[in-house]
């Protein structure tokens, strides 16, 4: 670049400028920028006042006015550039390119002289590439999408507008005027120019943007406040839900504890009723005149038991103990209750084990065969009546099923206590204690028609009284403990129960099974489970694929087949004698067992 010449004394030739499809010719100083300039370039990279072009002797100075994006020649930033021939100058990085050239044929003239009307013929036009060679211009920016406020390019030729003061604008081809997002940001918000040094349009856009930002901040603030409120509300609901769930759990624990207390109170009444029933039976036989007063005491005990049972049932319903159970599981829970065990505390493992034994009964066919044998011979009525006379759960009917299949001629293997005989399998000592006299064949494994243990009616009455004694004292109304004692021996159970308080709350089969399961013989555990499973089937045999009515209900209705009586005898002695006579007839016609 040549050194700056002295101040102008002779006007240089007019300067032609071409940019973005338009051309201007000036013979005086002029400005280039985005707003309020002689050459206006609506481009984001162009500052409001970007360049000032002034004449000097035989050329022109192009001076950058401190623009944000600079002025470039051949890709390099410059503060000013000397123009005395064709020259390309880029306005801002990636901005439009100005092509300068001295007007052809114009001789020296004083500043302010009018430009020539037309170029002389034969003089090369510096804006025609085939006549004048320009240096490589700065690279054009890559194609960018149009902004919404950019004017769309017209496909038709537009007439040039009036020339700026001191010069004229000439039509020229070229330029697409596309803008980019970065260019717009640089134009209106870059460069560090304050509001005083920018145009009205830029100030307006900046204020609008600030207002928009402030509005967005207000919206975001409100949204955050709304979300905070929603979160706090959700947390509040969660706290309430958790608190309510905790309260429900606390109430459930309370209900369960109260229900357990009621159940143990109910068992106490069960023991009381059983004792009253047995006492009434004995007193009626000894002193029939005292029956009225004893009956009043019995009814009072039964009424108290019914009231307690009703309250307990309310707790069971409130706790939803039976909710979601299958029909088989409901039957298991009911049988546990009938045997004097709380269904609230029934272990899940016990329920699963009962189902296994139920399946065994169904496969064997033994249940229906033995029960039909009892019904044909009237044993079902005798057994159920004997149990009721002694205040025992009628589910003990299935104890005789497990002992002998209701076979009155059954004889057990020899033991140190002798042979167990009859449908209820009494050993000689226990049978005598409850009024069953052994026969002459007591020491043998043969059926003895003179042995009262083989009389079903007498043995059923003795079994009812024996079960009653275990039920009311040792087992404390736990029917399953009674079953275990009947098989394992009450003496053994009593020895193991010494460390357990003698009350219904502590003497339960669930507890005994938990603490002494390892000591209990497998035979006894199997014995108890078989009786329990048979009682479950007896609730509704058809539910388990056995075509018969509930055996206990049939017996309570008078039975079917076998020996019948019109009314239940006071002591059952007439029925016992009838059964004994039948057994004697069998003994006379059948050979004795070896």
Statement to judge: residues 34 and 183 lie in one domain: yes
CATH value at residue 472: 1.10.530.10
What is the structure's pLDDT at 10? 62
- Asked if residue 198 is part of any domain, the answer here is no
Question: Is 414 inside a domain boundary?
Answer: yes
Task: Return the residue matching tokens 């051949």.
Answer: 74
Residue 18, C-beta contacts closer than 8 angstroms, at least 6 positions apart: 24, 98, 99, 127, 172, 174
Lowest mean pLDDT among 67-81, 103-117, 334-348, 519-533: 103-117
Residues above pLDDT 70, as percent of the chain = 65
Q: Domain end: 193, 226, 246, which one?
A: 193
Give domain status of residue 218, yes or no: no
Q: Collect all residues with Cβ–Cβ distance below 8 Å to 570 and sequence separation of at least 6.
A: 284, 285
- pLDDT digit string, tens, across residues 346-382: 888 899 999 999 999 999 999 999 999 999 999 999 9
pLDDT at 494: 72
How far apart CA 264 and CA 255 sit, in angstroms, is 14
For position 118, which CATH number holds?
2.60.200.20
309 lies in some domain: no
Count up the domains in the chain and report the number.
2
Q: Is the pLDDT of residue 289 over 80?
A: no
Domain range enclosing 28: 15-193
Question: How far apart are the C-alpha atoms of 254 and 252, rounded to whole Å?
Answer: 5
Does residue 171 register a pLDDT over 60?
no
pLDDT given at position 492: 80
User: What dihedral angle (degrees, nearest 10) is formed by the CA atoms of 465, 468, 474, 480?
Assistant: 120
Tokens of 466: 């024996």
> 449 lies in a domain?
yes
Lowest mean pLDDT among 66-75, 99-108, 567-576: 567-576
Least Cα distance to 384 among 399, 375, 373, 394 occurs for 394
In a domain, 337, yes or no: yes
Q: Which residue has the higher pLDDT, 186 or 482?
A: 482
pLDDT for residue 424: 98
The reply to whether 121 falls in a domain is yes
> In terms of residues, how long is the chain?
594
- The mean of the pLDDT values for the chain is 77
Tell me the pTM.
Answer: 0.53
Looking at the structure, tell me whether residues 185 and 327 fall in a common domain: no
Q: Residue 309: which residues within 8 A CB-CB, separation 6 or more?
A: 266
Which ranges of 5-56 would DSSP assign to H, the alpha helix?
A: none
Q: Within this chain, do residues 177 and 325 fall inside the same structural domain, yes or no?
A: no
240-278: pLDDT as tens digits: 888 777 766 666 666 666 666 776 676 666 666 666 666
Residue ending a domain, among 167, 193, 219, is 193
Residue 341 has pLDDT above 80, yes or no: yes
Residue 395 shares a structural domain with residue 535: yes
Residue that finishes a domain, picked among 162, 193, 224: 193
Residue 341 is assigned to a structural domain of this protein = yes
Both tokens of 64, joined, read: 């950058």
Over residues 140-156, the pLDDT tens digits come to: 444 444 433 443 433 33
* Cβ neighbours of residue 197 closer than 8 Å, sequence gap 6 or more: 48
**481 against 259, higher pLDDT:** 481
């Amino acid at each position: 670049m040549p050194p700056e010449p002295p101040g102008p004394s002779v006007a240089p030739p007019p300067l032609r400028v071409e940019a973005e499809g338009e051309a201007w010719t000036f013979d005086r100083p002029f400005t280039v920028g985005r707003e309020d300039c002689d050459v206006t370039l609506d481009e984001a990279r162009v500052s409001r006042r970007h360049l000032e072009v002034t004449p000097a002797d035989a050329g022109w100075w192009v001076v950058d006015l401190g623009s944000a994006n600079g002025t470039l020649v051949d890709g390099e930033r410059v503060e000013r550039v000397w123009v005395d021939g064709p020259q390309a100058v880029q306005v801002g990085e990636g901005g439009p390119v100005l092509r300068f050239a001295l007007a052809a044929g114009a001789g020296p003239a004083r500043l302010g002289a009018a430009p020539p009307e037309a170029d002389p013929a034969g003089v090369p036009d510096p804006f025609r590439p085939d006549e004048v060679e320009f240096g490589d211009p700065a690279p054009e920016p890559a194609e960018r999408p149009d902004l919404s406020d950019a004017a769309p390019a017209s496909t038709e030729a537009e007439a040039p507008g009036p020339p700026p003061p001191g010069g004229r604008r000439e039509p020229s081809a070229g330029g697409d005027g596309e803008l980019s997002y970065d260019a717009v940001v640089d134009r209106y918000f870059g460069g560090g120019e304050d509001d005083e040094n920018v145009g009205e349009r830029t100030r307006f856009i900046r204020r609008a943007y600030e207002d928009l930002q402030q509005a967005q901040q207000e919206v975001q603030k409100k949204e955050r406040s709304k979300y905070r409120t929603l979160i706090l509300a959700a947390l509040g609901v969660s706290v309430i839900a958790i608190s309510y769930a905790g309260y429900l759990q606390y109430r459930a624990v309370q209900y369960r504890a109260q229900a357990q207390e009621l159940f143990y109170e109910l068992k106490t009444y069960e023991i009381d009723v059983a004792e009253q029933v047995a006492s009434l039976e004995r007193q009626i036989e000894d002193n029939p005149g005292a029956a009225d007063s004893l009956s009043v005491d019995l009814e009072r005990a039964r009424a108290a038991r019914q009231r307690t049972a009703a309250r307990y049932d309310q707790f069971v319903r409130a706790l939803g103990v039976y909710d979601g159970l299958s029909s088989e599981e409901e039957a298991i829970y009911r049988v546990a209750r009938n045997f004097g065990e709380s269904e609230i505390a029934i272990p899940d493992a016990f329920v699963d084990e009962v189902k296994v034994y139920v399946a065994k009964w169904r496969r064997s066919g033994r249940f229906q065969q033995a029960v039909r044998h009892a019904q044909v011979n009237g044993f079902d009525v005798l057994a159920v009546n004997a149990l009721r006379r002694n205040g025992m759960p009628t589910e003990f009917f299935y104890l005789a099923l497990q002992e002998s299949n209701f076979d009155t001629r059954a004889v057990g293997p020899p033991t140190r206590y002798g042979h167990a005989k009859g449908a209820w399998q009494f050993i000689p000592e226990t049978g005598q204690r409850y009024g069953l006299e052994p026969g002459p064949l007591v020491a043998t494994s043969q059926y003895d028609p003179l042995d009262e243990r083989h009389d079903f009616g007498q043995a059923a009455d003795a079994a009812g009284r024996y079960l009653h004694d275990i039920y009311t004292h040792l087992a404390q109304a736990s029917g399953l403990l009674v079953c275990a004692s009947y098989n394992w021996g009450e003496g053994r159970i009593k020895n193991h129960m010494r460390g357990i308080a003698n009350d219904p709350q502590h003497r339960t089969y669930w507890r005994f099974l938990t603490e002494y399961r390892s000591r209990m013989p497998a035979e006894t555990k199997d014995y108890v489970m078989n009786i329990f499973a048979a009682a479950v089937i007896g609730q509704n045999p058809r539910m388990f694929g056995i075509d018969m009515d509930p055996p206990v209900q049939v017996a309570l209705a008078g039975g079917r087949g076998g020996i019948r009586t019109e009314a239940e005898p006071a002591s059952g002695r007439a029925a016992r004698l009838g059964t004994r006579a039948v057994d004697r007839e069998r003994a006379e016609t059948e050979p004795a067992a070896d």
